[in-house]
Structure formats: C-alpha cells, structure tokens
Structure 1
C-alpha cells in the first residue's frame, strides 16, 4: 500500500506561540515503513498550526524502500520497522562514504492473532515457523496446515496463514525471528498493509495473522508467544515489549543521511527533536505504540546532535 501524505508543518518545539527564531522552512521528504506511517502522520499533524513555511511529504511504501530512497537522495528521512541490513548499509556507505544515522523513535512488536472464536491462546516460535515457512529452519518435523495439527480440534479445519508483503519490514523481521531466517510458504496470503491483515483474520475463523502492535484491535484475539517448547508464553504489552521479553519486540527507527561530526539540517533536526519530545512521545502512546522513556529519548537526542 502506498500512502502519500503532504502535510503543511509548523515546527515550533514549544507548546506556546513559536518565536521567530524557532522558525524553519523548506520541504522534508520521508519514505519508508507502512507500520510507522501512522506515527509520521500524527507527528506531522501536530505541527499543522505552526510555521506554515515548512512542509513534509511522506510516503509509506515499506521499510525496504527507505534505504533505496536515502541512497538515491529521494528522501531526507527513512522510517523503518526493522534495522537496515548489512547489504543496505554497505550500499549507503559506498554512495556516501559514511554510515546512515539511526534514531530510535518508538517501541513496537509484531503481534500474532487469530479470530476471536479460535480457542488457541498461545503459540511458540517453532509453531509459527511450522505454520508459515516452507523450510522449517527452526527444526519442526512437519508443517502445520490444519488447526487440528496445532490444537487437536475434533473436526479438521484448514488453516489460512496471513502476513505482510515482501517490501515490509514486518515481513522481513518475522522471517528472521519466527522462521529462523527461512523462507515463507508459497500459499501464505501476503498483504501490503497491516490493516488488511487484521481485517482478513477478523473476517475468517480459519485465519492466523501477524501485524504491528499498534494496528491490532478488538476484532481479533492476540496470542501469547513462547520462545521455545516449555518456555513461558508472553503476552505483548508495554512492559514485555520494552524489556524485550516478548519474543517479537522491536524498535521503530528513523534513518537519515548526516555527515559525521556535522549536525543535521535545520528542518530534519527540528522534526526529529519534536518526535523525541514529551509531546511527540505522548502521541506514540495514543497511536497504540510504546513510547521511549525519558532516558531513552535523551540518548536518542544525543545521537542526533
């Protein structure tokens, strides 16, 4: 799903009327994660009444698009729901002679869920690998293709595995963690947006799906996930996500191109400062994601400046 957003921004970092000294102007382009797009939109909308000389253009075409856009100079910011791969960072270094700057802007998790009528309450990473992968690199002896194979239902039912498309950072991180780096089955239904995955599972009793934590609603039921057989299954919540106890926890990143030892340009700097501010992090929680704590936000501002 490609989401184009052009929002007029007013970039004052204080809650009251902005001083003339605070004003920034110009156009800022963001290209990347669909998962992070709802946050980018909220942060942008929060500026709308301030400094009309600044403008953000944001496109949510998947995390894989962020490194390409940054390398080609087509974006100032690259939101990603996974870290850049070694190959992506190497391509950036080849082009610019330095690594991209990476800022953590929020916490998230890949949430696994089923239809509310499904009795399954928890699953292990090995179960997810047996459901979603063709390679079963995590060691499962056989694929899970029916609910009877997982929960012993009296009447065998087929199982519909639903997930994200290959351009998504969610797709790639799920593959790395839950599939032990293996390959997806060809019959997994892959959607380009988190919302489509949730809607598919909500409307189909035989479906299981995964999506970003902030996109899950009451139309589906979240599963607790165990790292391995015999280990405790952990429900994704704010505490388990921030601590990393939930196995599919992840940060949300924003990458930018900044020469070493030099501060970022005024407009990207002002926008990222707002994201890391108390107000910006309150919006993170309002959108269903997990905000940085005070120390984390301070550390990320230090990386930026």
Structure 2
C-alpha cells in the first residue's frame, strides 16, 4: 500500500531584504526559539552568561523544534535550538532567503533514555534471543531496502544473523518510530544513509507520545521481533538492548552515559544551535557570547547538573568552539 504524502506545514516566501531588517538583534538581547524541552537549561545558561556579561538578556520562545528554524529565517529569532539536525526543507528555506546555509554547533549530547530529549537510539530484541550485538550495516540490511551501507543481501530471517535451531527460519519482524518523526529521520540518516525505501512489508511503525513503551510491549509479545527506538526509560524485563558497532572492524558498545558523551556509541544524538552568520561578516557579538558560554566548562556543567541532557565531552566542546570561530 502506498504511503500517504506529507505536506510541509510552513512554506518560506518573501523578501530577503525584509528578513534581514527583521533579524536585527535588540541591544543586549538574543531571541531564542526552539524545543520546549530546553526551557530550564536555557534559563540556567542565561543566568551564567549574565554573571560573566551583565546586561545581557535571553528572550526565549521555546515552543518546539519544528518552529525554531522558521523563526531564524524569518528574522524573528537569533538562535534556533533544535533537538535534532535541521531538515533539508528547513535549510533550503533559510538559503532561499539569505543565499547561504545556516551555521550551527552542537550544544549538548542527547539523553540516554529520556523521551523527547534527543535520546540515543537502541536496538531491542526479546530477552530469549541469543543475539548480543549488531553493526549499523546489519541494521541497514534489516530495515533498508536499498542497503546503502553495502550489505550484499537483505537480512530477512534470524539465520541470516547466525542464529540456529528454532530461530533459524523465523522471519524478523521489525518495529520502529514513524519514519517522518524526528527519531525516524535521525534513524534514516544515521543508519540508512538517508534512504527512504524501507522493508515496509515487515515493518510496524509507531507514532505516539509513549512510542518506546509501545514498541517494548510489541516485542514482549513477539519473540521473533527486532526494534529500534529511543526514550525507553522504564525497565522492561522481557526485552534487552543490543550493543552496536559502526562496522565489523569496530568493537560493539552498549548505550551508557559514558559511551554517549564520548560518542563511542554510534547512535548518539545531539542538540544543535542554528544561527545566521554571513560569510562576509563577523558573528553577532551577543549570539557569539552566549554560545561561547554554553560551550564553556561552566555552560556544560549547567548541562551536567540537570537530569535531562548530557554534556559534551571536552574534545567535542572544543571542536564546536572552533566551528563557532569559523575554523
């Protein structure tokens, strides 16, 4: 059955000059749009920034990632904080107006297992399943019809993954978040190399607020299922998580706070800050000052002191600071 076409809710149109005029930042104020999950953290960042640079203010309108980029390219926001990377549509909307792409840096590591807070994706199977690990190429060959990571064939039954006995001839039933959700888009980019052709005949998608719990329930009832999802914070004894590796030459690791912060876990997510930096002009001083605080040791301690997101590693923070400086 053909999948229903989704129509973008917002189209960008208008006058580039008008957008540039709207984008002027009021003195001492930066306007921040984006995901509401960052409300408390942005407040902590603002307090820390103002201690080092008095007189600065953050005007935050954190109503959702899906409106953040629209605020940026229409000039009503100076920063768009997204719990994901911006979509191609959002980037093109910005480029259509300004004729250059939006700049961005990562500002936190996503959570380990908190729904809505950029959780890492995990592969799950029934607890009776003897499998302990997978590579991303194997996940691609399970879910992706095109197998863009180079697998020679699709993986359809458990014998294709080396299982024997009662498991060998059983078809692998697949479960995942809706492919057009934020989690689904990340999965397609990080695992399927941006392919949109999945093995639909074996895949059941979920699009509910409690998607992790719903998928875990489905696996509990399906001994021969395999799922990829995120945000499953509750313990479900009937399912287990698999260690993952980028490829067959790399050690598979489990998703933990440590492997996410170090980026050793291959399906770690990040929160990104997008901003308007003209190629021929310096970054706005207020925007740059705020982001430098966010990426500082103190700013990342603000992240570590909360229960939601994880901080960047020291090396990742340094990399993002170099990007901020245009290097």
Q: CA deviation at 1:57?
A: 1.2
1:18 corresponds to: none
| CA distance in structure 2 between the aligned counterparts of 1:89 and 1:229, rounded to whole angstroms | 34
2:217 corresponds to: 203
| CA distance in structure 2 between the aligned counterparts of 1:164 and 1:75, rounded to whole angstroms | 29
Q: Please say if 1:234 is aligned against 2:237.
A: no
1:114 corresponds to: 124
> What TM-score, normalized to structure 2?
0.63
**How many aligned positions are there?**
269
Distance 1:79 1:192, change over 3 A: farther
Distance 1:122 1:197, change over 3 A: farther
SS at match of 1:154: helix
Q: Please say if 1:127 is aligned against 2:138.
A: yes
User: CA RMSD, aligned part only?
Assistant: 4.0
Q: CA deviation at 1:56?
A: 1.3
Q: Which moved more, 1:282-291 or 1:129-138?
A: 282-291
Q: Please say if 1:58 is aligned against 2:62.
A: yes
Conserved? CA contact 1:102–1:254, under 8 Å: yes
| CA distance in structure 1 between the aligned counterparts of 2:248 and 2:322, rounded to whole angstroms | 41
| CA distance in structure 2 between the aligned counterparts of 1:59 and 1:277, rounded to whole angstroms | 26
Q: Please say if 1:264 is aligned against 2:280.
A: no
Distance 1:153 1:281, change over 3 A: farther
| CA distance in structure 1 between the aligned counterparts of 2:158 and 2:299, rounded to whole angstroms | 42
Distance 1:172 1:274, change over 3 A: same
Conserved? CA contact 1:30–1:56, under 8 Å: yes
> What TM-score, normalized to structure 1?
0.67
Q: CA deviation at 1:297?
A: 3.3
1:4-15 superposed matches below 5 A: none
1:173 corresponds to: 186
Which residue, 43, 56, 63 being the options, matches 2:41?
Answer: 43
The runs of 5 or more residues in structure 2 that have no matched partner are 1-26, 51-55, 111-118
2:267 corresponds to: 248
2:3 corresponds to: none
Conserved? CA contact 1:110–1:210, under 8 Å: no
Q: Normalized per residue, which structure has more strand? A: 1
Conserved? CA contact 1:110–1:174, under 8 Å: no
| CA distance in structure 1 between the aligned counterparts of 2:96 and 2:42, rounded to whole angstroms | 32
Q: CA deviation at 1:281?
A: 1.6
2:75 corresponds to: 73
Q: CA deviation at 1:255?
A: 0.6
1:276-291 superposed matches below 5 A: 276-285=295-304, 286-287=306-307, 289-291=309-311
1:275 corresponds to: 294
SS at match of 2:153: coil
SS at match of 2:266: coil
| CA distance in structure 2 between the aligned counterparts of 1:297 and 1:190, rounded to whole angstroms | 35
Conserved? CA contact 2:102–2:276, under 8 Å: yes
